[in-house]
Amino acid sequence: MARYESVLESIGGTPLIRLTRVAEGLLPRIYVKPEWQNPGGSVKDRAALAMLRRAEADGSLRPGGTVVEVTSGNTGIGLAIAAAHLGYRAVIFTSSVIAQEKRDQLAAYGAELRLVDAFVPRAHPDSLPSQGERYAAETPGAWLAQQYDNPANPAAHYASTGPEIWDDTDGAVTHFVATVGTGGTISGTGRYLKEVSGGRVRVIGADPITSKYSGGDGSQKYIEGAGHFVHPETTLDEWPRALDLDVIDDYVPVEDQRAIDAIRGLARTEGILAGGSSGVALAAAFQIAGRLTADDTVVVLLPDSGRTYLSTYYNDSWLAAGGFTAPGSPARAEGPAVGDYATATPLVERDESVAEAVRRLAADGVADDDAVLVAHPRAGRVLAPHPSDIVGWTTPARLRGAAAVAETVRPVGPRLGIGLALTDPAVTAWDGTEGALALVLDRGRVTGTVTWRALHREPVHALPEQAV
């Protein structure tokens, strides 16, 4: 058994585990690399330590300094561990949307959490990145890790993750599958594997279906850490400098429900509990494996553990609230469900011409008093809107004669999963004062609305399932 002189020395050296039951019927050998075996519980430990060590070497971080980062959690945890061991203060900027388990871990390592939930473009002074950058600039001795643009991020994986995969497969790896977040993991690992194999290894980017990386519309997704979201008011879409686009041979878009199904199935068939972004990578790997032969070896990087997401992807109530389903569970409650009382609701964009919106709604047979959802503009929508894209609601009657769509908007009420029973606490807690309309979610997307009054009378009809 290995012996280490510090926790930092134990970073890296994660194993490969072959999938058998869940991969039954697929010809290639499929191995997963469980990165939660790093001390901080994720692949981000590698980049966190490499970035910190480089900052020490170039003088950006000095004794007694403060480590600052903007993160969805895992990089912050890796930095918090290193900071605790080396005697630095750690201040982590993140969102309350991240799993509670991640927030608790950050606090346990002594990091100071700054929660920022402003829904604004990245360049806005109130945005999460802007606030982190401002804090670092105004704090003496502070160093901002900047994982998205830090060259030490991909370098860490070129030096460790890539060689580990090559050595542990005896050079037999033919396909490497990983999600794309900052781009560091797939870029550094992929570049090493391509170089050492003479270009033989194919590098596959597993990506949420709405992510800009694989050509999506940039709308929000429910899987933490993977993909590239773009705020609808963003004018300049900047991609991470840690991402080497030339390394990735192909992208496989994955819908949130498929990712959730993949990790739930992995836990129940292989006994491997993996996080949400692991599900994106797994679903992509299973898709490409169907086209491969018995001569191929696929390695799938699993970024973190499912222990961090027991309150979300592995929680049936959380899934139901977002309109998702758990494997083996019915899509809807046995009795009356929210979807039975909901109606499909037309959509107009906030910046749309009022005259054009009124004309289009009339042509579609929308009555003057019918509810119409107002959304942030987003070109080429891949799915129904994410709740964060909904501004509010209006009616054709209110639109008619208005100067702008935005001035007619009223707030919406809660978000209710399409399959929630009418007795569910999320439904009964809504007393109708929080907004006249609630958003109805199918697999996380807004497919219709329901009124408080409708929930107290006979069903209207069941909403059709969203198309993917």
Report how far apart, in Å, the C-alpha atoms of 312 and of each of 178, 257, 319, 425, 457 are: 22, 13, 7, 17, 32
Nearest to 160 by CA among 342, 26, 35: 35
Q: Do residues 221 and 193 touch, judged by C-beta distance below 8 A?
A: no
Return the percent helix, strand and coil in the chain, to nearest 5. Answer: 35, 20, 50
The whole-angstrom separation of Cα 234 and Cα 425 is 36
Which residue among 33, 44, 102, 194 is the active-site one? 44
Nearest to 386 by CA among 333, 323, 428, 331: 323
Burial of 383: CB neighbours in 10 Å, binned 0-12, 13-18, 19+: buried
The whole-angstrom separation of Cα 52 and Cα 46 is 10
DSSP-assigned beta bridge partners for residue 300: 32, 177
Instruction: Name the residue with tokens 């709740």.
Output: 387
Does residue 44 carry a catalytic annotation? yes
The whole-angstrom separation of Cα 377 and Cα 230 is 12
Region class of 140: left (phi > 0), else alpha (psi between -120 and 50), else beta: beta
Catalytic residues: 44
